[in-house]
Chain A
Amino acid sequence: MARQNFVGVVISHGKMNKTVKVRVQTQRYDTRVHKEIFGKKDYLVHDEGNLCTEGDLVRIESIPKISSRKYFAIAEVKLNEGQQFEKYEALAKERVARDDSERIEKFLARRKELDSIVTQVADLQQLDKISRAFPSSGETERAQLLEQIEEIKQKYGIPAWPSTEPVLEMKLSQDQKDLSVLENRVANIKVILEKVMADEQKKAQILEAATKGKYGPVDTIKPQVQKNIVRKWILDPRNDVPVSL
Chain B
Amino acid sequence: MFRIPQRFFGTTCPRLSAETTSTVSRASYPVKLALKQFFPQDATRLKKRALRRRELRLKSQIIRDVNNLKQHRIKNSPYLVDPVLGSAECTFIKSMKEVLEEPNALAFGYDRVEFEKLMYGAQKAALDATIGGETVTEKVISTEEKKKRALMTILHNKNSSNEDKRKRAIAFARQEFQRFDGDTGSPEVQAAVSTVKIHWNMRNIIDAFKDKERIQRVRQMVQGRQKMLKYLKRNNPERYYYAIEKLGLTDDVVCNEFSMSKAYMDEYEVFGDRKQLRVTPTMKRRREKIADLERRVEEYHRVARENYAKINGTA
Within 8 A of B (CB), among A211-235: none
Contacts of A172 in B (CB 8 A): 114, 118
Q: A96 contacts B132, CB within 8 Å?
A: no
Does B146 sit at the interface, judged by CB under 8 A? no
Contacts of B9 in A (CB 8 A): 11-12, 54
Contacts of A100 in B (CB 8 A): 91, 95
Of B35-43, B190-198, B208-216, B241-249, the one with at least 4 CB within 8 A of chain A: B241-249
Within 8 A of B (CB), among A87-130: 88-89, 91-93, 95-96, 99-100, 103, 110-111, 113-114, 117-118, 121, 124-125, 128-129
Does A8 sit at the interface, judged by CB under 8 A? no
Q: A129 contacts B141, CB within 8 Å?
A: yes
Measured between alpha carbons, how far is A125 from B121 in the docked complex, in Å? Answer: 10
A interface: dominant SS: helix
Within 8 A of B (CB), among A183-200: none
A158 to chain B, nearest CB (A): 13
Measured between alpha carbons, how far is A110 from B106 in the docked complex, in Å? Answer: 13
Does A168 sit at the interface, judged by CB under 8 A? yes
Does B173 sit at the interface, judged by CB under 8 A? no
CB closest chain-A residue, reference B10: A54
User: Chain B 123-143 against A: per-residue CB contact (8 Å), 1 yes, 0 no?
Assistant: 110010000111001000100
Q: Which of B74, B104, B120, B123 has the most CB of A within 10 A?
A: B120
Q: When A114-B116, A117-B113, A135-B132 are in contact, do A86 and B137 touch as well, CB less than 8 Å? A: no
| CB-based A-B contact count at 8 angstroms | 103
Interface range on chain B (Cβ under 8 Å from partner): 35 or more
Q: B114 contacts A171, CB within 8 Å?
A: yes
Measured between alpha carbons, how far is A129 from B238 in the docked complex, in Å? Answer: 59
CB closest chain-A residue, reference B233: A85
Contacts of B117 in A (CB 8 A): 117, 121, 168, 170
CB closest chain-B residue, reference A137: B134
Q: A54 contacts B11, CB within 8 Å?
A: yes
Q: B13 contacts A13, CB within 8 Å?
A: yes
CB closest chain-A residue, reference B13: A14
Q: B116 contacts A129, CB within 8 Å?
A: no
Q: A129 contacts B137, CB within 8 Å?
A: yes
**Quick one: which of B10, B118, B134 contacts A170, CB cutoff 8 A?**
B118
B257 to chain A, nearest CB (A): 14
Does B305 sit at the interface, judged by CB under 8 A? no
Interchain residue pairs A-B with the least CB separation, the first 8: A14-B13, A92-B245, A88-B241, A92-B241, A92-B242, A14-B16, A132-B137, A121-B120
Q: List 29 A-B contacts (CB under 8 A).
A: A14-B15, A15-B16, A54-B9, A54-B10, A85-B11, A88-B241, A91-B238, A91-B241, A92-B242, A92-B245, A92-B246, A95-B242, A96-B91, A96-B245, A114-B104, A114-B112, A114-B113, A117-B113, A124-B124, A128-B137, A129-B141, A132-B127, A132-B134, A132-B137, A135-B132, A136-B133, A168-B117, A170-B117, A171-B111
